[in-house]
Amino acid sequence: MTVTFSRLAGTDRTKTAATISRNAATTATGTTAVLVGYDAGADALSAAYLAGRLKATVLLTATLTLSNATATALTRLGVTSVHLIGGTDKISQNVEDLLGWSYGADNVIRHAGTDRIATNLAVLAAGAAITKPTEAFICRAYGSINDGVAAGPIAYANGVPVILLDSTLPSGWASTVKAAGITKLTILGSDAAVPTAVETALKAAGFTLGTRLGGTDSRATAALIANAALTSYGFSTANVGLARGDVPADALAAAPYAGGLKAPVLLTESTTVLGSAAGGFLTQHRATLTTGTVFGSSAAVSDAVVTAAVAAAA
């Protein structure tokens, strides 16, 4: 079956996120936006879950000033409240004050902690106050966080948060996660990303562990997550997403769109190479694939990569 890909893109990541939000408006029906710093990938992993509970879009902004494309998107979407993810080192007080002037200070809510793990737990608590989750994904907090990217649509659509961990469980971490309602955890990434010692500690803390979704790299892990989305979370291959895998900012902003469509997201090897993991998934499911969405411009996912994706699914 021939797959037809369309592209949602802007000239930079804030504009791409704004373009995605325009198309996600049919599934993100709320009047709330979740705002993340444009270079705060770990915070964006946290954001998808909260955005799903709020039926919100995810937008990106520069740190010191509100990006023009983002401001325009907020107005177009008819937003009445904005949730900021991360501290003032990611989204400055100046941006918060500007949003407070536009929407009222009480309608601008910041979720932040002393580090990305604490911020992640603050976001978890905010989402759980709306609807308690029963399971979550575990992703490494430092180094490459790309293993968690493909879980964003599941976090958004199914209310399964991505929780960040380092090599040990911080004091109070397990009780906070349990208080949110979570009893089952699934680790994303290989043993090199999330050591077996963490797995042992999670079991000792009383959590049930699902089968680890870990490939040889983040692109292979994304393909495993995509297959899990199909088998365990009600996703389909009627639409599949494709985003740059080595710098996945566009994929992070795509969670509301892909989650709303129940579409798995694959990561490319690079801007110019599709990669065997994404290609293998497309070939495996070619009988049911119909349409695809590329997140990001041709500078992020080249036309040659899209051509290779079509060929893999043929």
Residue type, 168: T
Sign of CA dihedral 116, 117, 122, 125: positive
Cα distances (Å, whole numbers) of residue 218 to 7, 14, 21, 75: 22, 23, 25, 35
At 73, is the pLDDT very low, low, confident or very high (cuts 50, 70, 90)? very high
Count the residues in the chain. 314
In this predicted model, what pLDDT tens digit does every residue of 284-311 receive, in sequence order? 999 999 999 999 999 999 999 999 999 9
Between vectors from CA 44 to CA 209 and to CA 236, what angle results, nearest 5°? 60
Structural domain count of the chain: 1
Task: Name the H helices within 55-113.
Answer: 68-76, 93-103
Sign of CA dihedral 221, 222, 227, 230: positive
3-state DSSP assignment of residue 266? strand
pLDDT at 250 over 80: yes
pLDDT at 25 over 90: no
3-state DSSP assignment of residue 120? helix
Residue 29: domain span: 4-313
**CA proximity to 5, closest of 270, 227, 308:** 308
Q: How high is the pLDDT of residue 26?
A: 60
Q: How high is the pLDDT of residue 27?
A: 65
Are 49 and 129 in contact by the 8 Å Cβ rule? The answer is no
Q: Quick one: tokens of 15?
A: 């504009």
* This model's pTM is above 0.95: yes
The alpha carbon torsion through 233, 236, 239, 244 (nearest 10 deg) reads 50
Which DSSP letter does residue 169 get?
P
Are 249 and 271 in contact by the 8 Å Cβ rule? The answer is no
**CA proximity to 223, closest of 304, 146, 293:** 146
At 22, is the pLDDT very low, low, confident or very high (cuts 50, 70, 90)? confident
Q: What strand order describes the sheet that includes 184-187?
A: 162-165, 135-140, 184-187, 208-209
The alpha carbon torsion through 146, 152, 153, 157 (nearest 10 deg) reads 160
